[in-house]
Amino acid sequence: MPSEPRTNDGRDQAEDRVFKALADPTRRHLLDRLFERAGRSLTELESEVQMTRFGVMKHLRVLEEAGLVVARRSGREKLHYLNPVPIRLIHDRWIDKYTEPRVAALSELKSQLEGDPMSTIAEPATAQVYPMFIRATPEQLWEAITNPDLVEQYFYGLRIEIADGRRRVQGPDGELWGEEPVAECDPPRRLVHGWRSTYDPDLAAEPESRVSWTIEPQGEHGSRLTLVHDGLERSPKTAASVAGEGWMLVLCGLKTLVETGQPLGA
Amino acid sequence: MTTQLQETAMTNHREFEATQVYQVFIKATPEQIWEAITTPEFTQRYFHGARITVTRDGYRSLGPSGAVWGDAAVLEFDPPHRLVHGWDSLYSDELAQESTSRVTWEIEPQPGAYCLLTVTHDELQNSPKTARSVAGQGWMMVLSGLKTLLETGEPLAA
């Protein structure tokens, strides 16, 4: 196939925001502080840098816009958490590739030379399936998926409520981030709802896709939770963003919480 | 890693994939994960009862009855970061006929007290039956069990 210019505006813009956010020593310093210990308030962070409260807020906003910091309301305070995923993606895209000569990179180069654009940017799957085995009863898993107090402990700090045929997602300040229809709700077996990545304007602009949670008892192996994210045909950026580590972090956090009573990151 | 993510995604919509990538986040140190992967006392509690011993010199897996389930070369041995070994499915006469494939374990600490464990099972292009048998749930049951064992001290299977 002749190579056509690839448009990848969404990813480019997201990368721009991350690079800009990282191009400032104060912001890098703030990230280091959050790396050392997550869940810090503005007042705490302010004491770490020689800067006015307003200045720190401005920097935190840039970091939040780049997706590097997630803020979450806790009582009267807003606590800040590091989200390492965008840096990881930059690392994978811009650093890893050039430092680790791996077979995959070579085969990419080969197909690039041969003019096959398909294998240089593999399409993320339009139906993604994630099975997870968890030592819990189906009822316990259902509770973990539908109780907002439990969900926020593993779902990037978001508050998610399922009621009246809707799935409502609230941001850290309690503002409504998104609302999708619940297509199926069959406790403790199956929950199906619409998906829109409202945490990122670029992704939120794509058509709604679909997420299904299926719980099946496995006898001595506890239960199997299978998450399927499909209907992603016209939402390639969303598909790429949730693939692999995106959903696995949620599902691993859920498993840890159910089995140990503690969040993965604590 | 981007390549891996894409391959992970692709695993999902083909009948079998010659490169399969599985990832789990585990609340444990790299050293604990390494030990759980390479010593038989741990592996028998999450790897279908197999007693697996991995050293620089080789990868050896024994079934609960003492039958040889795996006997392969160790290609890379870098504790507690990276382990690469051959894979022959000796536990099944049918699968054992297929070519040797390859399994890579990578342990990466994450911000917070947990690690990302990435298992890549590749070089499966001439081993379609093995590829299908380990795909999806096969590896995920093992990795789910490993995570449970490390985080709770008890096996997933009661």
Domains, chain A: 1-122 (1.10.10.10), 128-260 (3.30.530.20)
Kindly indicate the confidence band of residue A229, based on its pLDDT and cuts at 50, 70 and 90: very high
Spatial neighbors of A113 by CB under 8 A, at least 6 apart, are: none
The Cα A149–Cα A143 span in angstroms is 10
Note the pLDDT of residue A72: 77
Q: Is B153 exposed, middle or buried (0-12, 13-18, 19+ CB in 10 A)?
A: exposed
Note the pLDDT of residue A167: 95
Note the pLDDT of residue B4: 45
pLDDT tens string, chain B, 158 residues long: the values are 444 444 444 444 346 788 999 999 999 999 999 999 999 999 999 999 999 999 999 999 999 999 999 999 999 999 999 999 999 999 898 999 999 999 999 999 998 889 999 999 999 999 999 998 898 788 999 999 999 999 999 999 86
Q: Which of A93, A124, A222 sits opposite B9 (nearest CB)?
A: A124
The Cα A160–Cα A144 span in angstroms is 11
Phi, psi of B68 (to 5 degrees): -80, 115
Note the pLDDT of residue A94: 67
Query: Would you call B157 and A38 a contact, using CB atoms and an 8 Å cutoff?
Result: no
* Lookup: tokens for B100: 């040797």
Note the pLDDT of residue A88: 66
Question: Which residues on A lie below 8 Å from B113 (Cβ)?
Answer: 265-266
Note the pLDDT of residue B6: 42
Q: Which of A92, A123, A252 sits opposite B25 (nearest CB)?
A: A252
Asked whether residue A219 carries a pLDDT value surpassing 70, the answer given is: yes
B111 contact A CB<8A: yes
Query: Would you call B156 and A222 a contact, using CB atoms and an 8 Å cutoff?
Result: yes
Note the pLDDT of residue B16: 72
Which domains, ranges and CATH numbers included, belong to chain B? 2-11+18-37+78-152 (3.30.530.20)
In angstroms, what separates the C-alpha of A106 from chain B's closest C-alpha? 12
B21 contact A CB<8A: yes
Note the pLDDT of residue A33: 84
Rounded mean pLDDT, A230-251:
91
Bridge partners (DSSP) listed for residue B83: B77, B105
8 Å CB contact between B84 and B103: yes
Q: Which of B9, B147, B156 sits opposite A128 (nearest CB)?
A: B9
In angstroms, what separates the C-alpha of B89 from chain A's closest C-alpha? 22
Bridge partners (DSSP) listed for residue B122: B102
Note the pLDDT of residue B35: 98
Rounded mean pLDDT, A191-216:
92
Q: Which of A131, A134, A221 sits opposite B136 (nearest CB)?
A: A131
Question: Which residues on B lie below 8 Å from A35 (Cβ)?
Answer: 111
Note the pLDDT of residue A122: 45
Query: Would you call B9 and A265 a contact, using CB atoms and an 8 Å cutoff?
Result: no
The Cα B24–Cα B107 span in angstroms is 10
Note the pLDDT of residue A132: 95
Asked whether residue A107 carries a pLDDT value surpassing 70, the answer given is: no
State the Cα angle at B44 between B24 and B129, rounded to 5°.
65
ipTM of the complex: 0.86
B123 contact A CB<8A: no
The Cα A116–Cα A1 span in angstroms is 6
Question: Which residues on A lie below 8 Å from B11 (Cβ)?
Answer: 125
The Cα A61–Cα A54 span in angstroms is 10
Question: Which residues on A lie below 8 Å from B157 (Cβ)?
Answer: 220-221
The Cα A200–Cα A45 span in angstroms is 25
Length of chain B: 158
Cα separation values, B59 from A88, A197, B30, B125, B144, Å: 31, 43, 20, 22, 22
**Per mean pLDDT, which range of A24-28, A84-88, A258-262 is the poorest?**
A84-88
Strand runs (DSSP E) across chain B, as ranges? 20-26, 51-55, 58-62, 68-72, 74-78, 82-87, 101-109, 115-122
Question: Which residues on A lie below 8 Å from B5 (Cβ)?
Answer: 92, 124, 240, 243-245
Length of chain A: 266
Best to test chain B binding among A30, A68, A245 (most B CBs inside 10 Å): A245
Beta strands A77-82 and A128-134 are: unpaired
Question: Which residues on B lie below 8 Å from A221 (Cβ)?
Answer: 141, 156-157
Element (H, E) at A108: helix A103-113
Note the pLDDT of residue B15: 60
Asked whether residue A68 carries a pLDDT value surpassing 70, the answer given is: yes
Note the pLDDT of residue A97: 53
Question: Which residues on A lie below 8 Å from B33 (Cβ)?
Answer: none
8 Å CB contact between B83 and B53: no
Query: Would you call A96 and B1 a contact, using CB atoms and an 8 Å cutoff?
Result: yes
Query: Would you call B24 and A108 a contact, using CB atoms and an 8 Å cutoff?
Result: no
The Cα A53–Cα B84 span in angstroms is 50
Note the pLDDT of residue B158: 64
The Cα A33–Cα A17 span in angstroms is 20
Note the pLDDT of residue B83: 98
Query: Would you call A248 and B110 a contact, using CB atoms and an 8 Å cutoff?
Result: no
Helix (H, G, I), strand (E, B) or coil at A110: helix
Percent of chain A, pLDDT > 90? 38
Note the pLDDT of residue A118: 35
Task: Name the residue type at position A87.
Answer: I
Higher pLDDT, A209 or A49: A209
* Lookup: tokens for A223: 């239960």
Bridge partners (DSSP) listed for residue A40: A80
How far is C-alpha A199 from the chain's CA centre? 9
Rounded mean pLDDT, A202-222:
92
In angstroms, what separates the C-alpha of B58 from chain A's closest C-alpha? 23
Beta carbons within 10 angstroms of residue B48's beta carbon: 16
Rounded mean pLDDT, A247-252:
95
Rounded mean pLDDT, A3-20:
68
Which residue carries 């690839």 as its tokens? A6
Higher pLDDT, A182 or A67: A182
Phi, psi of B71 (to 5 degrees): -155, 100
Helix (H, G, I), strand (E, B) or coil at A194: strand
